[in-house]
Structure 1
Amino acid sequence: MGTWEPWLAIAVALTLLITLAMRVAATDLLAVGCLAILVVAQSITGTPLLPSPEAAVAGFGNQGLITIAFLFAVVTGLEFTGGTELATGWFLNRAKTLTGAQSRLLIPVALMSGFLNNTPVVVALMPVVSDLAKRIGTSSSRLLLPLSYAAILGGMCTLMGTSTNLLIADLNAKEIAAGADITPLSFFAPAAIGIPATVIGLIYMIVASRWLLPDRRGAISVSDDPRQYTVEVQVEAGGPLAGRTIEDAGLRHLPGLYIAEIQREDGTIAAAKPTETLRGNDVLILVGALDSVVDLRKIRGLTTSDDQARKLQIPAWQRTLVEAVVSPRCGLLGKTIREGKFRSHYNAAVVAVARGDKRLTGKLGDVRLETGDVLLLEASPSFLHRRGESRDFFLVSTVQQGAIRRPERAWHAIAVVLVMVAVAAMTQQILTASLVAAIAMIALRCCTTSEARRSIDWSILIVIGAAIGIGSAMHQSGAAAGIASGLLNLAGGNPLLTLAALYLATMFCTELITNNAAAMLMFHIANSAAAGLGCDPAPMIMAVMIAASASFLTPFGYQTNMMVYGVGGYRVSDYLKFGMPLSLIVFVVAMTVIPIVWPLS
């Protein structure tokens, strides 16, 4: 490395490492800024040892990067239809203890993450985890970090499970196309390491989390809300809850919410005993806090009573939940909701009513409105603009609610995902499968075009694209070959020690920057190290692939770790304490399996 180009490439890579670790600015800005240094240097000097501007930005058209973008859209279809809850709810709703909840959550997550990019899987399941934690009476901090780790472990098992695997597989295919003598990577190639690492890792997390994970709760729980909403829902005839007892339906231990009475279709009233069997068209009168009422809407098999919301002249996916406080000037004061024809008058349906901490009896339609009543309404977004200045209400504000907007399309979304996975596994055409699946989600109205567009995390894609350009500079300048030579000298030419050094170096980079940036930087180093040893690059590439994903020590190395960081109330020390044993587990499995499956000779 006698010229200046390799040293510039190394300096830029180190700058990216350090600035990302120190959180100097947004990750995408730092990645693009570092890439810009290389582009400007090449443009000024014209040196052939750095990629041209066209080559430097070619990473933004990388096949793996585009596949990731499409997978975000696919998971949006699952999220907005409730397909995730439908696929996992039957399994998770039976959990009674923390161990049971973790077992029922982490195993399906690991399985799903093998066939869906693990980042959007965590995005889709975070609301489910919050509901699960409330149901078993524990803190979500006991579930969110294991959720992230399980998604990472599961993603190691296939080429489709994580963006890192997709990117490395794409780079590997390009090397083969260029004439390199490298073993092609099959769809399930990483499974040889990923499956045993996942099994051992899941056992470790389920056993050790009670001692190594904190139990941190929010300052205010839903039961602290002084307002007691009365909400009325109907058991859907022929739905999943009809014919089941309250206990079996999972309605007995709703957090901050209880069933006050059951009104039968024949006019009789039944007590809400755990053993009471629900019938189709039963009307359930429940009392609870606002958050709990909103969560109630996620339960399949329960619909808005009296068909009021369904009579609204607004598509279900365009509706929003609104809180409105009745003022003394409201024209419906003293009238019941039914008498005042509230829905026709305001084009909004009353979902629940709260009157301080008083419990209202009877059906919602029979409630006489009083000044100060808080109404939870289902309405169009325009209701806020039309009624925000109205004298009928003191206050009108939107309510944060779950993203399930088209529950009737849930099976369509699940079918699209299953077909996508089957086609990708059989044909290896992962980009094509994800592209068609994203279009199918929109065509089947599982999500809209704008929702799919908004779901894409552009910052992640920008970091990946820039990291590919920086990795290309490391290779083209000869910096990767120089570092590989240093690793070989450090390992004394021993293939196994070189493999271990490469794995640990990649893992170290991953924890400081991001998995994709680390993978891009280390891929060419792995190829150069293999060339120096005179062996097939496949084992070195597999070590980089697994190590780049095995980010368990900091919240910064992997996007799913960062996503749960604030929500779970974690500290950096929590990752180190809980993730260190997991990192050692994956390292030992990788060092044992790789030389057996991909010989180093």
Structure 2
Amino acid sequence: MWEPWFASAVALLLLGGLALRLASTDLLAISCLTILVVAGNVSGSKLLPTPTEALSGFGNTALITVGLLFAVVAGLEFTGGTQLATGWLLGRARGLIDGQLRLLVPVAALSGFLNNTPLVAALMPAVGDLSKRTGVSSSRFLLPLSYAAILGGMCTLLGTSTNLLVYQEYRAKGGDALSFFSLGWVGVPASLCGLIYILVFTRRLLPERRPAVSTHDDPRQYTVEMTVTADGPLIGRSIEAAGLRHLPGLFLIEIQRRGEVLPAVAPTEKLQSGDLLILVGALESVVDLQKIRGLTPATDQMRKLNSPAWHRQLVETVVSHRCPVVGKTIREGKFRTRYRAAVIAVARGDQRVPGKLGDVVLEAGDVLLLEAPSSFLQEHGNSRDFFLMSKVDGGEVRRFERAWLSLLILLAMVLAAATQTVEVVTAALVAAIAMVGFRCCTMTEARRSIDGSVLLVIGAAIGIGMAMDKSGAAESIAYGLLTLANEHPRATLAILYLTTMLCTELITNNAAALLMFPIAWTSAASLGLDPTPFVVAVMIAASASFATPFGYQTNLMVYGIGGYRMSDYLRFGLPLNAIVFITAMIVIPSVWQFEEVPAAPANTPPAVATE
């Protein structure tokens, strides 16, 4: 039979292509799936999946759940819910160990209930603040942040997309021994040991690196005014505790308080209600400033904009010499009335713009940071009044008043899924709709937050895994593993784990898990044993990507920002791989014992559950 060899060759083509970075991950996965679909269609072989079977993975409820979780985290991000949950803890950090404890423990706990990728993305700006606050390079926080998210994600079925996908396949095969917190038997001790390792060995094994791009390289210096809100969390806190001394490239020039000017403000100065803060800094830091709860732009023009917060965004533009407000102050020129936009900050080369923001006399070439309706670019994009108009990345206006609501929605989703009141996909669906319905994020923001390439890889990998199973390739590989292990259950478990871990480091976690799942199932069936311990090994090993930046998306996210090298991952990640492996090999056989069950037919095609 040629089908097993052909399916194996396509799987190896995917593995090799991903390992060598021949093309983007989603393109390689879709291309390999296409090869299988065309071959099966042309040959008419019954040992290869039909087009309907091969593409059914894109309707898999686990894939849909992953997409919905991106939208849920978008609601947290745009309301400041993540900052509300962690900011109070990070604000008191002192030194490397204290900072890592305050960062990594909450991240490991949260990642058990949230998708890791958007969670790490939401917390990366806080790492810059933490780095400045503690005087420690961000490279000693970013990679540990990624590792903590991976470790915490091992503790529940909802923690990683890998767990959801493998669990869905497990249920489709008839497995019923796993519940929401079952993986915690392995995940919790692995996380504890992993976090202790990170805390002890970061200083020895992870050098300080400089980011590839620094906000200090931005020559533009914006002048921005922020007011301390009357009912905000910053009242009574010092400048340093509020994080205003530690945003990269941003400097607090003075505080205006009840007609009194406080220049050269000491870090210990306590903030009071109504304080007007004058700050100068780079664009990225000014944008981050807008995300701090308890601060609001000082201009009252923003409150007069006839659009709600979720319909506004930050826009950067250059004033043209033809602009009618040139030579006038922002207030005299009636900028808000004329353009339906509020000036948040002004930059004039590398110098500070003196005076209060409303009294700044605009000059041609001034760079303005505006808070404007989403239609502003369309309405004024071709205007002769401005040059080089563009939307600011990450400049969506935060809705801090909905932060608690977004956290309540998240808590309700977790409780519903954990208590099995409803299916995980149902809880995620309701939570995503609630985030949009209660304006924690807009539908556009939710849609943009979804990483389509991740979903494409998942759907294609399900189809390729199905081909491995249906063609008999998985059975042949399983027999090879059993021969290597001399049909010993523990040895088979170890080999299966190490093979999955190696695949994960070279390709991606989801692709590795879906390719190895049929092999794990078939190995258990050939031994006449319950497949649950082998499936759990695949789940844990597929997430245990610490030695390369390519195996897990969060590792790749921090790679450039942290200024890391490949050797950093090998030196710092390989011992963590060993820790998780040893923990899994001790715990898995103890919790899910190798119980004998009647052998099932080895090459039964896996059903793909649909709701």
**The TM-score by the shorter chain falls in which range?**
over 0.9
1:115-134 CA-to-partner distances (Å, cap 9, x unmatched) read 11222222322333344334
* Residue in structure 1 matched with residue 432 of structure 2 by the alignment: 438
Amino acid across the alignment from 2:249: G
- Return the alpha-carbon distance in structure 2 between the equivalents of residues 60 and 556 of structure 1: 23
Question: In the TM superposition, what are the counterparts of 1:444-593 in structure 2 within 5 Å?
Answer: 444-593=438-587
Asked if 1:61 corresponds to 2:65, the answer is: no
* Residue in structure 1 matched with residue 237 of structure 2 by the alignment: 244
Residue 338 and residue 589 in structure 1: after superposition, are their counterparts in 2 closer, same or farther (change >3 A)? same
Moved more, 85-94 or 39-48: 39-48
Residue 40 and residue 590 in structure 1: after superposition, are their counterparts in 2 closer, same or farther (change >3 A)? same
Extract unaligned runs of 5+ from structure 2. Answer: 596-611
User: Which residue of the other structure, out of 124, 127, 130, is the alignment partner of 1:129?
Assistant: 127
- Return the alpha-carbon distance in structure 2 between the equivalents of residues 554 and 413 of structure 1: 34
* Residue in structure 1 matched with residue 294 of structure 2 by the alignment: 301
User: Which residue of the other structure, out of 168, 175, 178, is the alignment partner of 2:166?
Assistant: 168
Tell me if the contact between 1:82 and 1:404 (Cα under 8 Å) persists in the aligned partners: no
Q: CA deviation at 1:231?
A: 1.8
- Return the alpha-carbon distance in structure 2 between the equivalents of residues 278 and 569 of structure 1: 35
**How many residues were matched structurally?**
593
Residue 343 and residue 534 in structure 1: after superposition, are their counterparts in 2 closer, same or farther (change >3 A)? same
Amino acid across the alignment from 1:593: V
* Residue in structure 1 matched with residue 606 of structure 2 by the alignment: none
Extract unaligned runs of 5+ from structure 1. Answer: 177-181
User: Which residue of the other structure, out of 269, 290, 301, is the alignment partner of 2:261?
Assistant: 269
1:428-452 CA-to-partner distances (Å, cap 9, x unmatched) read 6211100111111111111122222
Tell me if the contact between 1:127 and 1:402 (Cα under 8 Å) persists in the aligned partners: no
Moved more, 81-90 or 590-599: 81-90
Asked if 1:210 corresponds to 2:203, the answer is: yes
* Residue in structure 1 matched with residue 152 of structure 2 by the alignment: 154
Amino acid across the alignment from 1:337: I
- Return the alpha-carbon distance in structure 1 between the equivalents of residues 7 and 481 of structure 2: 18
- Return the alpha-carbon distance in structure 1 between the equivalents of residues 487 and 536 of structure 2: 19
Q: For residue 417 of structure 2, give the secondary structure of its aligned residue in structure 1.
A: helix
**Scaled by the length of structure 2, what TM-score is found?**
0.91
1:81-106 CA-to-partner distances (Å, cap 9, x unmatched) read 22111211111222232333222221
- Return the alpha-carbon distance in structure 1 between the equivalents of residues 526 and 51 of structure 2: 30
Tell me if the contact between 2:313 and 2:396 (Cα under 8 Å) persists in the aligned partners: no
Q: For residue 252 of structure 2, give the secondary structure of its aligned residue in structure 1.
A: strand
Moved more, 287-296 or 232-241: 287-296
- Return the alpha-carbon distance in structure 2 between the equivalents of residues 395 and 19 of structure 1: 40
- Return the alpha-carbon distance in structure 2 between the equivalents of residues 222 and 381 of structure 1: 26
Question: In the TM superposition, what are the counterparts of 1:38-77 in structure 2 within 5 Å?
Answer: 38-77=36-75
Q: For residue 344 of structure 2, give the secondary structure of its aligned residue in structure 1.
A: strand
* Residue in structure 2 matched with residue 85 of structure 1 by the alignment: 83
Asked if 1:19 corresponds to 2:11, the answer is: no
- Return the alpha-carbon distance in structure 1 between the equivalents of residues 132 and 201 of structure 2: 21
**Scaled by the length of structure 1, what TM-score is found?**
0.92
Amino acid across the alignment from 1:378: E
User: Which residue of the other structure, out of 231, 251, 273, is the alignment partner of 1:280?
Assistant: 273
Moved more, 16-25 or 188-197: 16-25
Residue 505 and residue 104 in structure 1: after superposition, are their counterparts in 2 closer, same or farther (change >3 A)? same
1:357-397 CA-to-partner distances (Å, cap 9, x unmatched) read 44444422233334554433323455456555655556544
Residue 222 and residue 7 in structure 1: after superposition, are their counterparts in 2 closer, same or farther (change >3 A)? closer
Q: CA deviation at 1:13?
A: 1.3
Residue 503 and residue 343 in structure 1: after superposition, are their counterparts in 2 closer, same or farther (change >3 A)? same
Tell me if the contact between 1:172 and 1:184 (Cα under 8 Å) persists in the aligned partners: no
Q: For residue 526 of structure 2, give the secondary structure of its aligned residue in structure 1.
A: helix
Tell me if the contact between 2:8 and 2:468 (Cα under 8 Å) persists in the aligned partners: yes
User: Which residue of the other structure, out of 83, 90, 94, is the alignment partner of 2:92?
Assistant: 94
- Return the alpha-carbon distance in structure 1 between the equivalents of residues 5 and 319 of structure 2: 69
Residue 336 and residue 196 in structure 1: after superposition, are their counterparts in 2 closer, same or farther (change >3 A)? same
1:21-45 CA-to-partner distances (Å, cap 9, x unmatched) read 1122222222222222222232233
- Return the alpha-carbon distance in structure 2 between the equivalents of residues 15 and 393 of structure 1: 51
1:187-228 CA-to-partner distances (Å, cap 9, x unmatched) read 111111111111111121222222322422246644455544
Residue 536 and residue 249 in structure 1: after superposition, are their counterparts in 2 closer, same or farther (change >3 A)? same
Q: CA deviation at 1:159?
A: 0.6
Q: CA deviation at 1:570?
A: 2.7
- Return the alpha-carbon distance in structure 2 between the equivalents of residues 6 and 372 of structure 1: 66
Q: CA deviation at 1:54?
A: 1.7
Tell me if the contact between 1:173 and 1:184 (Cα under 8 Å) persists in the aligned partners: no
- Return the alpha-carbon distance in structure 1 between the equivalents of residues 404 and 34 of structure 2: 46
Identity percentage of aligned residues: 65
Q: For residue 88 of structure 1, give the secondary structure of its aligned residue in structure 2.
A: helix
User: Which residue of the other structure, out of 369, 378, 388, is the alignment partner of 2:362?
Assistant: 369
Moved more, 306-315 or 358-367: 358-367
Q: CA deviation at 1:475?
A: 1.6
- Return the alpha-carbon distance in structure 1 between the equivalents of residues 319 and 453 of structure 2: 43
Moved more, 296-305 or 345-354: 345-354
Residue 131 and residue 45 in structure 1: after superposition, are their counterparts in 2 closer, same or farther (change >3 A)? same
- Return the alpha-carbon distance in structure 1 between the equivalents of residues 306 and 87 of structure 2: 31
Amino acid across the alignment from 2:311: Q
Asked if 1:407 corresponds to 2:405, the answer is: no
